[in-house]
Structure 1
Amino acid sequence: MTELRADCERCFGLCCVVPAFARSSDFAIDKPARTPCRNLGEDFHCGIHTQLRDRGFRGCTVYDCFGAGQQVAQVTFGGRSWRDAPETAELMFDVFPVVRELHELLWYLTEALDLRVPPALRGQLAEAKGDIEKLTAGPPEELARLDVGPRWRTVSGLLDQASEHARARTKSRKSKRGADLIGKNLAKADLRGVDLRGAYLIGADLTHADLRLADLIGADLRGADLGGADLTDALFLTQAQVDAAKGDAGTVLPPALTRPSHWA
């Protein structure tokens, strides 16, 4: 999934320009949308990248563009930056969030295609992935007008089916979809195969929990303690979710994800 990982060296700092920041525990300043962050250098590098958490920009450390930054910068706009070609800025800023959503869908579809699913479903997943890849390669004017909503609905249904087939291997297939589990003590809990899609796990104690084959699409793991937890083949877990949680040397992550530098 290398093309779906952020490569900041090939981007134009789009995640530091396009979104709006509100002063909070995650951001030290207010920043209007489509305005460069004060920490963004002329070279499109963050001037405090190694100190973001210490300087009050924790939100920046848990953001993931799924590789949309370099796609928009190098493919959609052919390597022309919004600084060198100011006339492209507004269109580029319109396109970036659209491509980010498409790349997030590609992340999930790529993972789903690695699961054990029936041939017919595999064909549907591959077709959906191919269609979205074609969209990401489209001209900027078309991307800016694209409504990603229908694609989300189609892909979500396919991912549901893939999840069901994958989790069928476990003894328990309970659903905690969208559940309020904020601050819950789930230490050592057996959550194998549990549907935790969209669950609120903010600040939950998941130390030494077994989350193998648990469906974690959209689960809010901010501040959740994953120390010693087993997420070996947790379904649809993203780097941003991992970065937002706490963990330690005993936390086992899926091979596609990286242990955050701020973990113990």
Structure 2
Amino acid sequence: MSQKRETPSPDVAELDLISDCGSCFGLCCVALPFAASADFAVNKDAGKPCSNLQSDFRCGIHTQLRPRGFSGCTVFDCFGAGQKVSQVTFGGQSWREAPGTARQMFDVFPVMRQLHELLWYLAEALSLPAARPVHADLRRALEKTERLTGGSAEELAALDVAAHRGEVNTLLLRTSELVRAKVPGRKKERRGADLMGKNLKGADLKGANLRGAYLIAANLRGADLRSADLIGADLRDADLRGADLTDSIFLTQAQLNAAKGDAATKLPRALARPAHW
């Protein structure tokens, strides 16, 4: 049932989709807002630098984020959008060096993040043999998305990113259908389902459609999630200890970082085991 993936071309490394905080101007620490909660110790408005951001754009409590109440920071992943905006869109000139560009830079960052997230999904889709019938369309979508990321700050700020996401999502849906059709038996359709806190220990979820499902604090210990579509699923505090996520599709590092797992959790090869597990 498990399907060997092909190496996507271009792959995530070539597309620069791995976050490099050392090449970013701390954009996630400034551009984005957060509210005092279990994820963040304080309130912060969009465009206001976090009090922990240092003059070199590094976090002053990076090694203590979780115990200091900033677990939300350890979950976030910009898919490399931070360094793209910092070094390419704005040519390596920071918002501190050129305060007049700050607002535009902060507005562009979330747009670039969405585009880079789409590139991640498209690159993954191109690695899936079952999706060969739509590989040509996927590649065209990837190339278009990559071109958009190279636009000027003005072009990016004016981009209707929601419309573009809709176009790409049609292809990702078709990819999901093709991949999950290879899984024998009847697959569970739980798209957008409210499964918060549900006891799904040991559940057979092979090839399940869990797109956008709310799995917050769900018990998924030992569950079989092979080839399940997890795009947009909320896995905050979900218990994935011993779960099998091999070949699950459209799972991201941020989703894993938000969940709980252990050494027995089986992961897709493109993702890393979170340090806090």
Q: Please tell me the TM-score bracket, short chain as reference.
A: over 0.9
* Counterpart in the other structure of 2:47: 34
Q: Which runs of 5+ in 1 are unaligned?
A: none
Taking the aligned partners of 2:199 and 2:110, their CA distance within structure 1 comes to 36
2:193 to 168, 179, 187: 179
| Residues 1:120 and 1:188: Cα distance change in structure 2 (over 3 Å) | closer
Match status 1:223 vs 2:237: yes
Structure 2 counterpart of 1:174, which letter? K
Number of aligned residue pairs: give it: 263
Structure 2 counterpart of 1:68, which letter? A
Taking the aligned partners of 1:139 and 1:181, their CA distance within structure 2 comes to 42
* Counterpart in the other structure of 2:140: 127
Deviation per CA, 1:90-138: give whole Å up to 9, x if none: 1111110110010011111110111124544111000000001000001
Q: Are the equivalent residues in 1 in contact too, given 2:40–2:71 (CA < 8 A)?
A: yes
* Counterpart in the other structure of 2:222: 208
Deviation per CA, 1:212-241: give whole Å up to 9, x if none: 000000101000000011111101000010
**1:173 offset after TM fit, Å?**
2.2
Q: Are the equivalent residues in 1 in contact too, given 2:30–2:47 (CA < 8 A)?
A: yes
Query: TM-score, normalising length from structure 1?
Result: 0.98
Taking the aligned partners of 2:137 and 2:249, their CA distance within structure 1 comes to 19
Taking the aligned partners of 2:189 and 2:271, their CA distance within structure 1 comes to 25
* Counterpart in the other structure of 2:106: 93
Structure 2 counterpart of 1:112, which letter? A
**Any runs of at least 4 consecutive aligned residues in structure 1 with deviations exceeding 2 A, and if so which?**
117-120
RCO (CA 8 Å, sep 6+): is it higher in 1 or 2? 2
Deviation per CA, 1:141-182: give whole Å up to 9, x if none: 111111101111111110011011111111232211011111
- Look up the SS of the partner of 1:4 in the other structure: coil
Taking the aligned partners of 1:7 and 1:254, their CA distance within structure 2 comes to 21
Q: Are the equivalent residues in 1 in contact too, given 2:179–2:227 (CA < 8 A)?
A: yes
| Residues 1:119 and 1:221: Cα distance change in structure 2 (over 3 Å) | closer
Query: TM-score, normalising length from structure 2?
Result: 0.93
* Counterpart in the other structure of 1:195: 209
Taking only aligned residues, the RMSD between alpha carbons, in angstroms, comes to 0.9
Where in structure 2 are the equivalents of 1:33-182 lying within 5 Å?
33-117=46-130, 119-171=132-184, 172-182=186-196
Q: Are the equivalent residues in 2 in contact too, given 1:116–1:165 (CA < 8 A)?
A: no
